[in-house]
Structure 1
Amino acid sequence: MTQDPRALLRHLYDVAVARALPDRVLAQHLPPPPKGRTLVLGAGKAGGAMARALEAAWPREARLSGLVITRYGHNPPGYAPERLEVVEAAHPVPDEAGRLAAERMLAMTAGLTADDLVICLISGGGSALLSLPAPGLTLEDKQAINRALLKSGAAIGEMNCVRKHLSAIKGGRLAAACAPAQVLTLLISDVPGDDPAVIASGPTVADASSCTDALAICRRYGIELPPAALAGLESGAFETPKPGDPRLAGQRLVMLATPQQSLEAAAAAARALGIEAHILSDEMEGESREVGKVQAALARAVARRDAPFSKPCVILSGGETTVTVKAKGGRGGRATEFLLGAAIALQGEPGVHLLAADTDGIDGIEDNAGAIVTPTTLARAAALGLNAQRELDANNAYGFFAPLGDLVSPGPTFTNVNDFRALLIL
């Protein structure tokens, strides 16, 4: 193989992202127009791109209206909605723009009939973007709880269990409000296991979890709840629509893109270049730096002993790891923290190169998607006076990789199938 390792890793990331772009995967799943009207509702980092793909494919003569919420800066350049409205709001901590849009969205469901069709466009990030507090809660309450959850190290399923029980629109409530209309939900998955009830906190999916579960999660991670939230969870007043709820009967769910599909696309691209590819899992969770250490050990075994895989090869994985924030002032998300943990464990292992990046183009709240680790990373950092362990302890992985010029910064990709990690062993 003569291709530069950095270029190869970036190529695999680009292929994985391309597999999940709405323009490529949405149109073939659209039904014919209904007898009544078609209402489009949606939220997520891919929301703008999904709206664009739907609007382009929907017959010009057919009635179409609706509202979709996406993250600031994530509406595709050049897309000027004609029949739909796209609103931008904050992520990962919700803001007033998201609250107002969610309130309007719920109001749009009034007067729907059995002849009408609601197409819901749901993708990762929708939970924060679609923020309508449960009765008695304020946006400030939701913001404080969300910040605490993000710093706690809770898994995405746990966070979304809490979010849906403190919401007036998530956890199946949006679909319930659409009854008796037909509901088609088109999803792009960003969660381990592709559970539609977890993606964006499942606004159109019956919720099998309970208020008791949400309360237990808050207590497990020491999340302080305002009195109204505590009362609603303890009494069961904030319970969500459950499986079997007649208001949700007959709706359809279609998964447009998943992390596994993107990993398979990247693996095929590697093999086309003569590099054997192995997919570990699309469901990896855990503390980012610890997952980094584990994958570093695997890469080292391949580099030194050709086991359990023979080199040259690339090892791919997805999922959603977490970062427990223990220091103030640091910068970086789960991709760069994974890489810094791996770099320290590898100690410059010859022939091992890593890329980790979020497929939405944004690592946490930063301006990068991730970064790259090479055999010279630690040596180059030391020459600049950077101590890898000190930066990791400070949760400052961004501050470590930025001076090295090793950040991966594609900008918003207009989709989201979660983490992408590639270990190249030569």
Structure 2
Amino acid sequence: MNAPAPFDDARARALLRSLFDAAVARAQPAQVIGQCLPPPPDAACGRTLVIGAGKAGGAMAAAVDALWPADAPLSGLVITRYGHTPPAYAAQPGRIEVVEASHPVPDAAGLAATARLMALTQGLTEHDLVLCLISGGGSALLTQPAPGVTLADKQALNKALLKSGAAIDEMNTVRKHLSAVKGGRLAALCAPARVVTLLISDVPGDDPQVIASGPTVPDASTCADALAILDRYGIAVPPAARAGLESGAFESPKPGDACFAGNEVHMIATPRQSLQAAAEAARAAGLAAHVLGDDLEGESRTVGQVHAALARSVARHGEPFTRPCVILSGGETTVTVRHASPGRGGRAGEFMLGAAIALQGQPGVWALAADTDGIDGVEDNAGALITPDTLGRAAALGLKPGEFLDRHDAYGFFSAVGDLVITGPTFTNVNDFRAMLVV
């Protein structure tokens, strides 16, 4: 490893952005999906249907369409977030229709698209192949409430869960039990066709049951689990939803159910793979790289404070890592909204604001945190970046970072100091990316 040239602010910023870009590039569907595509069925007796949902859904559909034999029949429908259809595929649509809907709270467009997707599964036979393209965000995009539960009910519950601080596996346990399509039910609709699910993971642990609420895989959680989560966080439950959960009427298909016989699941991109790609890029630049983990969870600001303490120890004492180095981590933190009038921002921004305050202007430390889908929460930024002079520049503007953190307004803070990271949609999604450069 060659020693890196000295770092100034511009070089540090560029290095951190290049590491984020390397992580995103590793998870691009066009680069990874081909190795898991099965051969087409015999066109004389079977057909191939492509369905799915997620923030990477449009790019996954475009990749499948490009790689699938031109003379092999292919059709289907995939749902993605507004603005997340790759421009080339939007300009020249292919054999797979891509429909856009709302995330993270479902809307009528998602409801209508899901109904159309479900209708496409009617009449499938054992000779047919279903390719199911699933990525993070599918829980909101693939929306068909359980009997008696309305779209308004689902929207209210989603909003409450997002503000509660519940972990992603807890939120998706609730979502799948109040759904007519998630939690393995989409696989049941496709039976007896063969289902091959291609997954891009955005959840800690890469559990297929959690990614997009597992529409095509067995669900080991129960209605009782879902109800316990709602009660634990004090979330109001509509009468029809509570009745379905308490009676077990909303139970999901379990491991061993015949509807999953012969189905396959392939994980084509994961947070760890993207972090490893970033680490390789850092080492190529002459820096030691340390991956703390791809599944870190917890309150965003608290995780930021812990990362800051580690970076300060490295900067001041050369422990537990030797300078210069890059510290990488991934996972999905949470933001528990306690302010009556919260500001703007997402997990990555809140992590960065907590870290900036804890670093106290530590010399030689730069950091970037961003969501790999290019959208931090519901804003137009992927995340934010901090430098040794972040707090100094904020003070010169009369900004008090603690006040911004108290009202969950990381977007407002980093916008004012000019340190938002704006990438636009990346057309993939392997969760949060965090990198700290210590020199």
How high is the TM-score relative to the length of structure 1? 0.99
Instruction: Give the Cα separation in 2 of the matches to 1:66 and 1:77.
Output: 19
SS of 1:274's equivalent in the other structure is coil
Instruction: Give the Cα separation in 2 of the matches to 1:123 and 1:369.
Output: 18
1:84 Cα deviation (Å)? 1.1
Among 346, 355, 359, which residue is 1:333 paired with? 346
Q: C-alpha offsets along residues 361-407 of structure 1, whole Å, 9 cap, x if unaligned?
A: 00000000001011100010011111010100011011000011100
SS of 1:88's equivalent in the other structure is strand
Instruction: Give the Cα separation in 1 of the matches to 2:70 and 2:15.
Output: 42
Q: How many residues align?
A: 426
Q: C-alpha offsets along residues 286-328 of structure 1, whole Å, 9 cap, x if unaligned?
A: 0000000111110011111111100100000000000011121
Instruction: Give the Cα separation in 1 of the matches to 2:16 and 2:71.
Output: 45
Q: C-alpha offsets along residues 310-348 of structure 1, whole Å, 9 cap, x if unaligned?
A: 010000000000001112140000001001001111100
Among 36, 39, 55, which residue is 1:29 paired with? 36
Asked if 1 retains the 8 angstrom alpha-carbon contact of 2:62 and 2:94, the reply is no
Question: What is the 5 A alignment of 1:169-180?
Answer: 169-180=181-192
Among 9, 12, 19, which residue is 1:12 paired with? 19
What amino acid maps onto 2:117 in structure 1? M
* Superposition RMSD in Å: 0.7
What amino acid maps onto 2:259 in structure 1? R
Instruction: Give the Cα separation in 2 of the matches to 1:174 and 1:229.
Output: 20
Question: What is the aligned-residue identity percentage?
Answer: 72
How high is the TM-score relative to the length of structure 2? 0.96
SS of 1:281's equivalent in the other structure is coil
- 1:377 paired to 2:384: no
Instruction: Give the Cα separation in 1 of the matches to 2:200 and 2:342.
Output: 33
SS of 1:45's equivalent in the other structure is coil
Q: C-alpha offsets along residues 47-98 of structure 1, whole Å, 9 cap, x if unaligned?
A: 0000000000111111111000000000001213221110000000000000
Among 130, 144, 157, which residue is 2:156 paired with? 144
Question: What is the 5 A alignment of 1:277-316?
Answer: 277-316=289-328
Segments ≥4 residues shifted beyond 4 Å = none
Instruction: Give the Cα separation in 1 of the matches to 2:285 and 2:171.
Output: 40
1:16 Cα deviation (Å)? 0.2
SS of 1:11's equivalent in the other structure is helix
What amino acid maps onto 1:407 in structure 2? L
What amino acid maps onto 2:436 in structure 1? L
Unmatched tracts of structure 2, length 5 or more: none
Instruction: Give the Cα separation in 1 of the matches to 2:162 and 2:360.
Output: 30
1:271 Cα deviation (Å)? 0.2
Corresponding position of 1:344: 357
Question: What is the 5 A alignment of 1:10-409?
Answer: 10-35=17-42, 36-79=46-89, 80-327=92-339, 328-409=341-422
Instruction: Give the Cα separation in 2 of the matches to 1:164 and 1:150.
Output: 15
Instruction: Give the Cα separation in 2 of the matches to 1:242 and 1:338.
Output: 37
Instruction: Give the Cα separation in 1 of the matches to 2:373 and 2:355.
Output: 22
1:270 Cα deviation (Å)? 0.3
What amino acid maps onto 1:252 in structure 2? E
Instruction: Give the Cα separation in 2 of the matches to 1:230 and 1:329.
Output: 29
Instruction: Give the Cα separation in 1 of the matches to 2:299 and 2:141.
Output: 25
> Which of 29-38 and 165-174 deviates more?
29-38
Q: C-alpha offsets along residues 143-181 of structure 1, whole Å, 9 cap, x if unaligned?
A: 000000000000000000000000000000000111110
